[in-house]
Structure 1
Amino acid sequence: MDNKRRDFLKTVVGAAIFSPISGNGSTAKSDFGLADDPLPTWPLPDLKKIFPDPIKIQTVALLKAQNRLFLVVTAQDGTRGITVCNDRMPNLTSLLKGLVLPHFVGKDARDLPALVDNAYRLNSNYKYAGMPLWNCIGSVEIATWDLLGQLAKKPTYTLLGKPVRSDYPVYISDFWRGGEPTEVVVERLAQKLAATGATGVKIKVGGRMVNTADDDKRTRLFVPMVRKKLGDAATIYADANGSFSPEQGIATGKLLEDYGVVIFEEPCNFENEEGIRQVNQALKKVKLAGGEQDTSLYRFERLARTGVYDLLQPDLYYNGGILRALQVAEIARMHGKDIAPHTPKADPLIGPFWQFAALAPNLYGLQEFVDNPSEQEPTWYTPAIRVQQGKVEIPKTPGLGIRYDETLWKSAERIV
């Protein structure tokens, strides 16, 4: 391959991730992308002005404690940035160790956008592109943002822009797809709304990537029961997890519309863009949402531009971190769409979402919360993640907003 072609390919691939930071601290626009409509980028302050001295990443370690995995980025002065890893990481440790960590260890944390770019682009890592690679990169990116926030003694969102909100309203998510009597599940939802002050719920419809006759019968019984129990004022979202064919999705969507459901998530297999678009075109009231499986910024742009979804739902970890999620928000905004990231956690995994929620101007509606009132108050981190009067407050504490008990690291097992 000649040098000119190699340089061109580097430009093409790099533009798909981040536009470079210009010398004056503004985000330089890439001229690669759609012919007349390049992907927008999230404006990023010059981290080298915020932090005049280099911040060497001394180590990046995957540790196990509390039966969970933690990604810990440690600077040369001993300051740590930390994120809990999601439940995909145990199966991805070879990618993390072999492909991702070499692009961060020993580098300057102030170059974080370029480090993310390199972890995707260099050594042909892009050939592994998809959730497994981006989940590894995103976990390191998120922990590094926590490190930078700790060093600045400010919430991470203050390093990324001007906050537009200090809290957000939530819905209570339930994962029931059979096994308990329908009446029990509906009563549980009502009790959780009463306990939290939340005004909405998300229910499951279909069978999760399949829709048997029993699944369909359960859906058609469940939806009207939820509306009757919770009343007309309650907001209801529904998630199909790709259960339906386009024809089934249209039929189920019309049922949802009859009962005032606001969001219909992933009606068809997430790869079936044309099928989902058909469902969206056939429905007039409900909004279609999706994107938690997706990791391509160009695919997100296409999903918004071609009417596949009304709401984009990237997962902050699967999609490669906080900055890429903010870029998806800008892509959605470019096409007059909104964003509601995939965030079903009520534990430290919610930390990066707090930073995103503080900043994204087009954050839509109620945000996901999995409430389990029977769980004991955590002792290994603060604050406890709680809903009060239907809202979650975004912490003003440094980094991602989570503080960990220091004794965790004394007994932690190093995995990578």
Structure 2
Amino acid sequence: MQRRQFLQNTLMGSSLLAHKDLFGQNQRSTSDLPNWQLPDLHKAISDPVLIRSVELLKTQGQLMLVVTAQDGTRGITQCNERMQNLSSLLKGLIIEHFTGKDARDLPMLVDNAYRLNSNYKYAGMPLWNCIGSVEIAVWDLLGKQVKKPVYQLLGQTVRTNYDVYISDFDRGTDTADVVVDRLAQKLAATGAKGVKIKVGGRMQNTPEDERRTRAFVPLVRKKLGDSITIYADANGSYTPEEGIRIGHMLEDNGVAIFEEPCNFEDEDGIRRVNKAITKLVMAGGEQDTSLYRFERLARTDVYDLLQADVYYNGGILRGLQVAEIARSFGKNIAPHTPKSDPLIAPFWHLAAVCPNLYGLQEFVYELNGKVPSWYEPAIRVQNGVMQIPSTPGLGINYDDQIWKSAERVG
């Protein structure tokens, strides 16, 4: 899709509706930012759901965040790889704002974990990743309490599945031919109709990186064919001038989305690249955690497509608030979620209710990968489509045996 058409379509489809305060009608809003219209959890769940404990456990080689209610019901999320370096912050600053509280007050609990006790002084990915992990586990708990998928507590369902693209993270370890052949095999195995490739060198662009990118992109298009959608992620590799030159080369090869061409903090530089290109959709935001910054990124046309990470940015509700911010400026979202394990689960529920989810969504597929036996369902793509589970909570069920050998962290 041409970028101009993309922008026109999103503007036409955008509805600038008034939304209730995220924290309920009886509490004062702390900002003028658009908020997701969340159903009243006290009406959806008639009795209090008191949180007895919040624990960080290690099992199956993974850190797991487990929230337990007074009646013994568990809400669970796997933690991302950042948590291993953040556990002291989680335990020292965050957990106390959830234990002993009513889980139905989740939006307020998230806000308190940010504002109170000067926690806001730690604001950024480390703080919000900890808050988001607890928030996601609490949603799993609430869904299990009412025996409904989380998305039914978030709003109106707009989709039950979504189309995916396949990621490849190689930046020169393998030859270009090997990478493209691997992508072709993954497309054949999953039925996906798109791929995302890496360009540049990740926060740098050496002459070798430049040569690789300029040879690699045309080869991907040639070997995979014109029917395959290609997204390109620079991970902040370029100066604005380099980003413009590479952007034009990507346009010439029919690439649809250009992600984070410059350092993510260089808003002016990214905006310059965006202004200079005419066909690419400019995407970014996975490093960002400030809702005010997301508003500015949208309002000042730094990006056409916002990509907040569900965990980094503080959970499902804040992900939906980014969607509302984007929608208020006629823009869309495609959250950062390069996962094929239980970490994908919160994205399912955001996707189920988000009206301005754009394009193909990310999926990591390993050729001949072993299907884990400690959780179900197996996370698979069929005919290029990911089905959103309709089972209670986040949709992941864990083998009870894994908790018997789980180690409490800290």
Bin the TM-score by the shorter chain: over 0.9
Q: Distance in 2 between matches of 1:185 and 1:112?
A: 44
Q: Distance in 1 between matches of 2:293 and 2:307?
A: 12
Matched, 1:108 2:102: yes
Query: SS of the residue aligned with 1:299?
Result: helix
Query: SS of the residue aligned with 2:81?
Result: coil
Which residue does 1:192 correspond to in 2?
186
Opposite residue 142 of structure 1, the aligned amino acid is: I
Opposite residue 256 of structure 2, the aligned amino acid is: V
Which residue does 2:233 correspond to in 1?
239
Residue correspondence of structure 1 range 281-300 to structure 2 within 5 A: 281-300=275-294
Residue correspondence of structure 1 range 169-180 to structure 2 within 5 A: 169-180=163-174
Q: 1:65 aligns with which of 48, 59, 62?
A: 59
Contact 2:67 2:141 in 1 (8 A): yes
Q: Distance in 1 between matches of 2:159 and 2:111?
A: 29
Which residue does 1:277 correspond to in 2?
271
Opposite residue 114 of structure 1, the aligned amino acid is: M
Which residue does 2:24 correspond to in 1?
21
Contact 1:145 1:400 in 2 (8 A): yes
Shift of 1:74: 0.1
Opposite residue 303 of structure 1, the aligned amino acid is: L
| Unmatched segments (≥5 aa) in structure 1 | 1-17
Opposite residue 226 of structure 1, the aligned amino acid is: V
Residue correspondence of structure 1 range 63-142 to structure 2 within 5 A: 63-142=57-136
Matched, 1:414 2:408: yes
Matched, 1:265 2:225: no
Shift of 1:194: 1.1
Which residue does 1:313 correspond to in 2?
307
Contact 2:22 2:38 in 1 (8 A): no
Query: SS of the residue aligned with 1:82?
Result: strand
- Identical columns (%): 71
Contact 1:169 1:390 in 2 (8 A): yes
Contact 1:201 1:237 in 2 (8 A): yes
Opposite residue 53 of structure 2, the aligned amino acid is: T
Query: SS of the residue aligned with 1:88?
Result: helix
Structure 1 residues 140, 161: CA separation in 2 closer, same or farther (over 3 Å shift)? same
Query: SS of the residue aligned with 2:370?
Result: coil
Query: SS of the residue aligned with 1:377?
Result: coil
Q: Distance in 1 between matches of 2:177 and 2:48?
A: 59
Contact 1:19 1:29 in 2 (8 A): no
Calculate the TM-score normalised by the size of structure 2: 0.94
Query: SS of the residue aligned with 1:69?
Result: strand
| Matched residues, number | 390
Q: 2:392 aligns with which of 391, 398, 410?
A: 398
Shift of 1:29: 7.5
Shift of 1:242: 0.2
**Larger relative contact order (CA 8 Å, sep ≥ 6):** 2
Q: 1:368 aligns with which of 362, 366, 383?
A: 362
Matched, 1:153 2:153: no
Which residue does 2:333 correspond to in 1?
339
Q: Distance in 1 between matches of 2:392 and 2:91?
A: 28
Q: Distance in 1 between matches of 2:329 and 2:28?
A: 18
Q: Distance in 2 between matches of 1:412 and 1:319?
A: 27
**Could you tell which deviates more after superposition, 307-316 or 38-47?**
38-47
Which residue does 2:158 correspond to in 1?
164
Contact 1:242 1:270 in 2 (8 A): yes
Q: Distance in 2 between matches of 1:41 and 1:338?
A: 15
Q: Distance in 2 between matches of 1:20 and 1:308?
A: 29
Q: Distance in 2 between matches of 1:72 and 1:158?
A: 22
Opposite residue 136 of structure 1, the aligned amino acid is: C
Q: Distance in 1 between matches of 2:175 and 2:150?
A: 44
Contact 2:22 2:36 in 1 (8 A): no
Calculate the TM-score normalised by the size of structure 1: 0.93
Opposite residue 192 of structure 1, the aligned amino acid is: K
